[in-house]
Amino acid sequence: MSEKLLTNFLEMMSAEKGAANNTIEAYYRDISQFLDFLNKDCSLTEEKDISAFLHKLAQQKLSSRTVARKISALKEFYKFLFSEGKIKTNPTAEILTPRLQKSLPKFLTQEEIQKLLQTADQENVFAYRRLSAMFALMYASGLRVSELVALPYNCINFSKKQLLVLGKGAKERFVPIAQTALDRIDNYLIWREKYLNGRYSPWLFPSNTSLSGHITRDNFSKNLKNLALKAGISPLKISPHVLRHSFATHLLNKHVDLRSVQKLLGHEDISTTEIYTHIVSEQLIETLQTKHPLATNKSDC
């Protein structure tokens, strides 16, 4: 019974709310973990069962972010059961989600971005031509890594310099592409044709070793860290998400308005984009260092 209700819940999240596959998989893992712990039909769940589960999670010393994700999954699941009339009371209604401390986004400098691109361009093999194109496209367009790796072959309109992206919740958006990124992609497509050697692939960034047929998020992340080592930059400083953060931060440093950045990133809520405004811009740092009275050697302040 519990498994069937879980399946119905996941189908609803996918069909009605357009949840991404990664989100569906996370819901399945987290709720299944609780149902295994519960060891009875989920319609019989009481608030004390939820509390006991949370106590077990606390003993495992999981991060507050992980616990918050699991609580969120359970809240959605039992809200669904309540709305479907499968339970009379919602056992998660009074359960509080731990407050998360938002950390400021990490980002690379423009000089580091250029150094990484130059290093990738030095290697004249398919893996690096693909990496160079993916790196440039992600930094130029601010894509999520899940969006980047699964781009279809026909997603780019070269004449309009636009990219059609399938984002979260299966929502499409058009993103402009800088000419330098288009040039790298154009060069990469010649290598892609040689790599496929007559085989068909619907993906812009195919891979012969992955089950999906396209390069995976993990492989792209590992390739980025190897590139950083080659460029003399700490691999701890770079990840796919850092590239996305760098895209947003550098635009705001150039005084691009927040609404435009929100649309480019595909954020549903502008509050998600506002975290970037907490990063002190390069211009403000320069202004402070050159204009503030204490920044000078004069003694007339």
Catalytic residues: 144, 168, 241, 244, 267, 276
Rg of the chain over CA atoms, in angstroms? 23
Residues 281/261, Cβ–Cβ less than 8 Å: no
As a whole number of angstroms, the distance between CA 152 and CA 165 comes to: 9
Strand partners, 157: 162
Backbone angles phi, psi at 271, to 5 degrees: -60, -30
- Which tokens go with 198? 């007559």
279 CB-near residues (< 8 Å, 6+ apart) = 104, 105, 107, 249, 252
Helix axes 110-122, 126-141, angle to 10 degrees: 160
Report the distance separating Cα 22 and Cα 145, nearest Å.
Answer: 12
CA distance linking residue 129 with residue 142, whole number of Å = 19
**Contact predicate 79/92, CB 8 Å:** yes
